[in-house]
């Protein structure tokens, strides 16, 4: 069973729909036991870093996520879900992230001719042999919607990058923790392939 953590943050239904199309039976939940007994866990998210951290704490999901990581259950953060796994964000100064992974979330620098948020399709440069990207070609296109980006402390955990005004760490993997800044559930066949790789871990 795949648990999708419900903390009132955005893209839950589209993630559920993508998993259903792969023949999975996802459960949208904030029940601690259900999440801890799941085979895989997904932390989705669309919205603001500070509000999302407040909701995770309100529902006790911050502690549950740390338990999932300690149990070594595969965990996938998507979009804001990636950002929350790190230590801090420019979007919410003074608000601590989950700190599961080391790094910071920075605002995409303004550049003439580029709109922020970064919204649309962009190609990935695949590096460091990420398990989510097995069977995919370098320069595969995925769908992004974000104004803030990850700079991981340890670049060895970075499995994909993209360029938009700056070098963006677009996907990471460390142990049982996986995360991507883009939306696999909105990235057509490439995104479904990535989700399938996660499901089959």
> Catalytic residues, which ones?
79, 183, 185
Output the CA angle 82-25-124, nearest 5 degrees. 35
Q: Which residue has the tokens 């790190």?
A: 86
Beta pairing, strands 167-174 & 158-163: antiparallel
The end-to-end CA distance of the chain, in Å, is 13
Helix, strand, or coil (residue 89):
strand
Cβ atoms 184, 21 nearer than 8 A? no
Alpha carbon 94 to its chain's center: 22
């Amino acid at each position: 069973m795949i648990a999708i953590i419900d903390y009132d943050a955005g893209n839950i239904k589209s993630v559920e729909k993508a998993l259903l199309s792969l023949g999975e039976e996802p459960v949208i939940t904030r029940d601690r036991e259900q999440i801890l007994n799941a085979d895989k866990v997904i932390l989705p998210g669309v919205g603001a870093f500070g509000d999302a951290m407040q909701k995770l704490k309100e529902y006790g999901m911050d502690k549950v996520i740390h338990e999932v990581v300690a149990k070594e259950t595969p965990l996938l953060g998507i979009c804001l879900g990636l950002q929350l796994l790190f230590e801090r964000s420019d979007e919410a100064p003074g608000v601590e992230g989950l700190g599961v992974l080391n790094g910071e979330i920075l605002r995409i620098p303004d550049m003439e001719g580029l709109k922020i948020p970064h919204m649309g399709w962009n190609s990935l440069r695949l590096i460091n042999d990420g398990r989510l990207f097995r069977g995919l070609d370098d320069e595969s296109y995925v769908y992004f919607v974000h104004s803030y980006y990850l700079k991981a402390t340890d670049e060895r955990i970075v499995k994909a990058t993209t360029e938009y005004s700056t070098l963006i760490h677009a996907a990471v993997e460390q142990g049982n923790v996986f995360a991507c800044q883009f939306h696999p559930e909105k990235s057509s066949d490439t995104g479904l392939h990535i989700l399938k790789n996660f499901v089959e871990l």
